[in-house]
Amino acid sequence: MIQPSLYADIALNLPSLGTFQYAVPEVIESAATPGKRVWVSLRSRRMVGTIVNVSSERAVDEVKPLDSIIDEAPILSPSFLELTRWMSKHYFCSWGQCLEAGLPAPFRKGKFFMKSRAKKWTEHAESVNPEDLPLTLHQEAAYGEALKKMKSGSPGCFLLYGITGSGKTEVYMHLIREALREGKGAIVLIPEISLTPQTVDRFYSRFGDVLAVVHSRLPQARRVEEWHRIYNGEAKVVVGARSAVFSPVKNLHLIIIDEEHETSYKQEETPRYVTAQVARKRAEIENAVVVTGSATPSLESFFQSESGEIQKLRLPERIERRPLPIVEVVDMRQQLRGKGPAIFSTVLEQNMRETLARKEQSMLLLNRRGFSTYLHCASCGYVMRCENCRISLAYHYDKASLFCHVCHYRTTPERLCPGCRKGYLHYFGIGTQKVESEAARLFPGARLGRMDSDSTSKKDAHELILRAFKRREIDVLIGTQMIAKGHDFPHVSLIGVISADTALHIPDFKAAERTFSLLTQVAGRAGRGDIPGKVLIQTYVPQHYSIQNAQRHDYESFYAKEIEFRKELYLPPFSHLIKIIISGSPEKEVVRHILALAKLFEARRSGELFRLMGPAPCLISKEKGKYHWNLYLKAKSVEAVRPLIFEVLNGFKKTKVQLTVDVDPQ
């Protein structure tokens, strides 16, 4: 039997941290190059893998031959292979899992071409400022600094720190225009699908057919088509959500991350990457420049800009020196009506009436969907909970059902308490549906729109709602945080925050940061045209520093207070958190495993290399029938503790449970 002379290391989408070696049949040796997909057999399965290396050295005694090579030419570049290899080490997952995160789903099944029937963006794009607008002095200075780095040909990273309405997008446009003049490409990342229609309109009006759009709501065939346009160099500017950071842009020169503070830039499934970290690593590999922008930067980014790790660019004024909206804090402790708290304070109700009378638009924010947040028995205290998860069920008025917002379990509400069979169940808490219902009662002539994950579950729903609001077919837009981010509607003069406290009391060290950011961002949607803006924030804790600083649009005072708290507790940005989760059933098995894992880490703890916190149940301790416990490592850097974590995980024996590592959890 003739021994093979060539072996291929194949990365597979499996939890195994290593690669798999296969022999390359002689007839296809010349075609076996890194970056191509192959069909291989693993036990009884046939899988698609990626060649990451070829060698004449055999690593194990018995090596199976690979079945066939799928691609005529490599579809993954050497730089992409380098990026994903770094990701696999940094985020403690397999190389194959990282490779597949950067490819359209059909590619994982061996496909390569698909024909899409979906509408092109060009068919409904609205022209928005088709020509470059003149830059202000502050914009010109920021643009000049970033351009200088781009022309140097070396990698760099900037934080474009500008108040809401200061013209960050125009700086992005000028930088992209310069990249295109040099024959190079750019990626623009946005945090929410809800921003896509407006963002695409603005970018398409400037850059036309060289634009490609990438996000999770696109039909798979359309995603494949867009990938080919980018891969072939037809599309040089890519706009999309976090996965667009992997787009195969030719001669990549610039990566822009708009609203960089948003938590949606963190991938919550394996590989659990942080988009900004991946973008900076890709820029380092490909000699590109990263520009992140925000009016409320993450504390980590602002800290890095203060320490000089990244360069800070400032935009301290709104375009045309438009004033920031007046922000008024309404103390809801003084607004109780009858038996329960009011949804609309007297002052918000009055301002809504005045805004409607002037034919202007308003937005109402409540970062909680549904009608009521839970059903409760006043007699025995029983709360209706999900039978699969340890959370209360939310009532949705439009479907007359109770829903679990984690596993989507659905049931009909009971009238009589299942706990004591004596008392009746009462509806407590409010969601966006209840706000909509109350607004319809108070303002019967107003045209209302609601934007949350329930109302936007259908295809193109985001786009239809936002375009209707832009055309002034909706007077009042009610929604969750998705209405707070990046939108530019010149006729919005009033913003009402129904409750500023929904995220403030969650047991999370970032609760104050998220509250401040959300309030500041939603306040920035008002007064962006010629009409002055006003913001009313309803809260039961008006004295909290996040709310006080949001009222003053004062990020730096908030940062100064919050950074001291983080430093005292050795929390990010002074450390990195590494969260290790054990999941499974029954709960006693999960607890046994997490305690054993904690002992392994304790035995290796020496000096200040890391601090151990936990173990403890996760915030959602039961989900879809599985129990979740976690422990945290605090470390100065991930690199410093990486060898130790790999050593512990390799020596840890687990049965009937799942282990997940989450680096820098959000």
Question: Which is nearest to 503 in space by CA: 449, 541, 531?
Answer: 541
| Percent of the chain scoring above 70 in pLDDT | 91
Tokens of 538: 């309803």
Please give the average per-residue pLDDT across 109-121, as a whole number: 77
pLDDT at 227: 95
User: pLDDT class for 148, splitting at 50, 70, 90?
Assistant: very high
Q: Does 323-371+430-566 match 121-320 at the fold level?
A: yes
pLDDT at 130: 62
pLDDT at 369: 61
173 vs 293: CA distance, rounded Å: 13
Residue 85: partners with Cβ closer than 8 Å, 6 or more residues away: 52, 95, 98
pLDDT in tens, 630-656: 999 999 999 999 999 999 998 888 888
Q: Tell me yes or no: is domain 121-320 CATH 3.40.50.300.
A: yes
279 vs 476: CA distance, rounded Å: 37
pLDDT at 44: 87
- Other CB atoms within a 10 A radius of the CB of residue 533 amount to 23
Residue 623: partners with Cβ closer than 8 Å, 6 or more residues away: 388, 389, 406, 407
pLDDT in tens, 518-528: 899 888 877 76
446 vs 431: CA distance, rounded Å: 19
Rg (Cα) of the chain, in Å, rounded?
Answer: 26
pLDDT at 171: 96
Task: Find the helix packing angle between 555-568 and 299-307, rounded to 10°.
Answer: 90
E strand or H helix at 521: helix 511-523
| Percent of the chain scoring above 90 in pLDDT | 60
Task: Find the helix packing angle between 196-207 and 461-470, rounded to 10°.
Answer: 70
pLDDT in tens, 430-439: 788 889 889 9
In the chain, the largest separation of any two C-alpha atoms, in whole Å, equals: 89
Tokens of 395: 């009532």
Instruction: Give the residue extent of every domain in the chain.
Output: 7-109, 121-320, 323-371+430-566, 576-663
- pLDDT of 2 > 70? The answer is no
- pLDDT of 590 > 70? The answer is yes
More confident residue, 97 or 461: 97
More confident residue, 397 or 276: 276
- Lowest-confidence range among 296-305, 357-366, 449-458? 449-458
User: pLDDT class for 24, splitting at 50, 70, 90?
Assistant: very high
Residue 27 main-chain phi, psi, to 5 deg = -65, -20
| Residue 336 burial by Cβ neighbours in a 10 Å radius (0-12, 13-18, 19+) | exposed
- pLDDT of 337 > 80? The answer is no
Residue 88 main-chain phi, psi, to 5 deg = -60, -35
Please give the average per-residue pLDDT across 13-35, as a whole number: 92
- Lowest-confidence range among 310-319, 343-352, 479-488? 479-488
Amino acid residing at 529: G
Sign of torsion, CA 459 221 246 67?
A: positive
- Identify the CATH assignment for 7-109 out of 3.40.50.300, 3.40.1440.60, 3.40.50.10710, 3.40.50.10800: 3.40.1440.60
Tokens of 426: 């009462």
Residue 325: partners with Cβ closer than 8 Å, 6 or more residues away: 495, 523, 524, 526, 527, 532, 533, 534, 535
Q: Tell me yes or no: is domain 323-371+430-566 CATH 3.40.50.300.
A: yes
pLDDT at 193: 64
User: pLDDT class for 23, splitting at 50, 70, 90?
Assistant: very high
pLDDT in tens, 167-209: 899 999 999 999 999 999 999 999 876 556 677 888 888 998 8
> What is the number of H-type helices and E-type strands within the chain?
16, 27
Q: pTM above the 0.85 mark? A: yes
Question: Which is nearest to 173 in space by CA: 237, 227, 229, 260?
Answer: 237
Exposure b/e, 228-254, CB count within 10 A at least 16 = b:
bbbeeeebbbbbbbbbbbbbbbeebbb
Are residues 90 and 638 in contact, defined by beta-carbon separation less than 8 angstroms? yes
Are residues 593 and 658 in contact, defined by beta-carbon separation less than 8 angstroms? no
Average model confidence (pLDDT) across the chain: 88
Please give the average per-residue pLDDT across 288-294, as a whole number: 97
- Other CB atoms within a 10 A radius of the CB of residue 470 amount to 19
User: pLDDT class for 91, splitting at 50, 70, 90?
Assistant: very high
More confident residue, 325 or 390: 325
pLDDT at 496: 93
pLDDT in tens, 216-237: 778 899 999 999 999 999 999 9
pLDDT at 507: 78
Class in CATH terms, 576-663: alpha beta
